[in-house]
Structure 1
Amino acid sequence: MKPIVIIGTGMAGYTVAREFRRLNKDAPLVLVTADSGGSYSKPMLSNAFAQNKDAQQLVMQSAAQMSEQLNADIRTSTTVSAIDTAARTIDTSGGRIEYDKLVLAVGAQPIRLELKGDAAQHVLSVNNIDDYAAFRARIASSSNASPVRVAIIGAGLIGCEFADDLAGAGHAVTVIDPNHRPLAALAAPALSEGLQTALQARGVQFRFGTVAEAVHQAGPELQVQLADGSTVAADIVLSAVGLRPDLRLAHLAGLKTNRGIVVDNAGQTSAADVYALGDCAEYTFADGSGHTLPYIAPIMTAGRAIARTLNGERSEIDLKPSPVLIKTPSYPLALIAPLPHTVASGTWCVETADNRTVCRFYDADGVLTGFGTSPHDNAIRQTLLGELGKKAETA
């Protein structure tokens, strides 16, 4: 009997495996991963410094423990070089594997900036547990500097989370971004300003309206050269400009791709019995538009639906709106961003009461299509979710 094969052992891959095993205890299951296969929460990578947690402390279960728990064959340190959807095989560094059904949970890769300078190769990014370990090692090796100066390129979600976390751990942080406020693509201006004020109170500095062009070695320190002619001195430079879905295997397999691997309502790709979810997948909405959803709630929802489909019960992925929780303890945020193309014609409405800021976004038709709040709790999140899709006068 051919196994179900899952490529990737991040949150997406392990979610499908767990959910499938709840439904089917015996069908052969193989997971293939290029890393060590440990189970950990990727969102924890950007808020572990202040807690002084090293990489091993973030790993909840080893590959061996996951193998026993899932009754699965987990092949670690194994890379995939080809997928043949007609023959239903994958070629790996450990040999060829036949599959009955295949799941791609290969995630996304950091966007690499084309930086100039003799130290551009020293710019780090953190996208997995090994990256985090390397980042901590670099911080430790710079501990003779007091505090360690970290330049973060990018004031989006990950950049702001790392800025808050590193500042909370006592490091000196400078954030560089071409926009004029943090979380510019996600949050209402009022919430961006609140976050900026909170981070600045922690000592975080911002360089807005410019970009990093080069990184040079200047003795023991790095000099980040900005487009406006200024420089930022740092011991470490961290790039947090975003992620791009990993499409390498999808291209090799001839799957339909756009920004991500295009999947239907059940998570199936353009090839029969090949599925994708998580950061690598592009979901099609009711209006026909495609979106990548690199967040926890869509991963869990897709994982449960795909598991049922793998077990013989085709199930559609019911993607309900779910707020993104920004892990910035100095100014915790929950938000659903409006679609970018609606921002120019819509309006943010701001309400401040009881030390809470609530921002509602109404599109050109007066319909609530986005919101954000800080601080937040389940009650306010549920209230705002209940208002989504309603006109202002009935909200």
Structure 2
Amino acid sequence: MHPIVIIGSGMAGYTAAREFRKLNPEHELVMICADDAVNYAKPTLSNALAGKKAPEQIALGDAAKMATQLNMRIEAHTWVKEIQAAQHQLVLEKNGQQTIQPYAKLVLAVGAHPVRVAIAGDGSDDIHVVNNLEDYKAFRKNLDQHHDKRVVILGAGLIGCEFANDLQNTDHQVTVIDLAPQPLGRLLPTHVATSFQEKLEDTGIHFVLGTTVEKVIKVEKGDYLITLANGQSVVADVVLSAIGLHPNLELAKTADIHCSRGILTNSHLETNQADIYAIGDCAEVNGLLLPYVMPIMQQARALAKTLNGEKTHVHYPAMPVAVKTPAAPLTVLPAPVDVDVNWETEELEDGMIAKALDSENTLRGFVLLGPSAAKQRLSLTKLVPDLLPAAV
């Protein structure tokens, strides 16, 4: 019997392996990844500074430890050159040597890569992105080399704001630049975004919104001059780009696996190719692309049962997202994009509760800003219909 093979050693890959092992301790399991297969939780990267965690302390286990823990063969530093779907096998390359790896079932947990925009100037190649632990190590090493602690962040989305708060908490001078007119533009209604921005600005974070970076030039002492489209300029020691992620689709496309924004799957996480599944940031499940922790957990539990012979639909209950910005504690449950909503807002002493109601007055999403509002998370979540029902 051929093994179940997982491509990818991120949270999705390891969670799928762990959930499968709970059900089936014996069936051969193989994980293939291009990096060192260190297991860590990516969400910890954007608040490790305030948590006083050095990059070396973030890892939960190396490949050897995880292989033993999950009774799994891990092929690190190994590239999947081709998926031969008809033959149920992979062409692998490691150290310049190619081998064939057969599979009974294949799980694509290939994640996403940072969006990079073309920026002029001789400093643009030095812009950091943080999408994995190695990226984070390089970013922290660069931060530690500068005493002025001036950091420019490109992108006022969830990751950009989390990094901004984390850096500001550790005495860095942070400027956040975004083309959108408000932070968290895709998640928050304008009136909540304004209050959220004000709370972050109270800590010293500087927002420059409604404009883009045109050029990043190296100047003396390792500084960078960042020129903006609105004519302003900012000087920084370190520049971090956090303008979003694109699912990794190239490998799937070469195997004629259907893709849209992500790798397309049904509610069993099946792709159009037999015995090939997708999970995590790369997976677009029944039209939903949700790059958050809770959907990964729901996917992994369902997929483990399916891989073990009990075909199971993934169930998406309402899954609020906690944004790690202690200066402005925020919990967001985005309303479905295809639903028209009206916002009802209750002002509190330390924040607000904003509810997204549809035409039938059903709660479809909410935003909780501040410590008092956060206490409503569970009671409000129960009122929101499932995003993907338990059986469809």
| Alpha-carbon distance, 1:189 to partner | 2.6
Partner of 2:328: 331
Matching of residues 365-376 of structure 1 within 5 Å? 365-375=360-370
Alpha-carbon distance in 1 for matches of 2:273, 2:375: 42
User: Is the 1:176–1:211 contact (alpha carbons within 8 Å) kept by the matching residues of 2?
Assistant: yes
Letter in 2 for 1:384: L
One of 107, 111, 128 as aligned partner of 1:107 = 111
Greater Cα offset, 181-190 or 377-386: 377-386
Would you say 1:272 and 2:274 are equivalent positions? yes
Alpha-carbon distance in 2 for matches of 1:16, 1:99: 16
Alpha-carbon distance in 2 for matches of 1:78, 1:321: 37
Alpha-carbon distance in 2 for matches of 1:310, 1:27: 10
DSSP-derived class of the 1:238 partner: strand
Q: Deviations over 1:139-179 (max 9, x none)?
A: 1122xx32x11100100000000000000111110000112
Letter in 2 for 1:33: C
Greater Cα offset, 198-207 or 273-282: 198-207
DSSP-derived class of the 2:284 partner: strand
Matching of residues 88-103 of structure 1 within 5 Å? 88-94=88-94, 95-103=99-107
Unaligned residue ranges in structure 1 (runs of 5+) = 285-289, 391-395
Alpha-carbon distance in 2 for matches of 1:293, 1:129: 21
Matching of residues 31-110 of structure 1 within 5 Å? 31-94=31-94, 95-110=99-114
Partner of 2:129: 125
DSSP-derived class of the 2:129 partner: coil
DSSP-derived class of the 1:213 partner: strand
DSSP-derived class of the 2:82 partner: strand
Alpha-carbon distance in 2 for matches of 1:93, 1:127: 23
Q: Deviations over 1:168-203 (max 9, x none)?
A: 111110000112221111013333222212211211
| Alpha-carbon distance, 1:378 to partner | 7.1
Alpha-carbon distance in 1 for matches of 2:375, 2:202: 28
Letter in 2 for 1:140: D
Partner of 2:237: 235
Partner of 1:226: 228
Alpha-carbon distance in 2 for matches of 1:346, 1:66: 45
| Alpha-carbon distance, 1:320 to partner | 1.1
Would you say 1:382 and 2:382 are equivalent positions? no
Alpha-carbon distance in 2 for matches of 1:187, 1:167: 22
Partner of 1:287: none
Residue 64 to residue 348, structure 1, CA distance change in 2 (3 Å): same
Greater Cα offset, 220-229 or 317-326: 220-229
Over aligned residue pairs, what C-alpha RMSD do you find? 1.6
TM-score normalised by length of structure 1: 0.93
DSSP-derived class of the 1:130 partner: helix
Partner of 1:182: 183
Corresponding pairs, count: 380
Partner of 1:393: none
Partner of 2:390: none
Alpha-carbon distance in 1 for matches of 2:184, 2:166: 16
Alpha-carbon distance in 2 for matches of 1:57, 1:378: 29
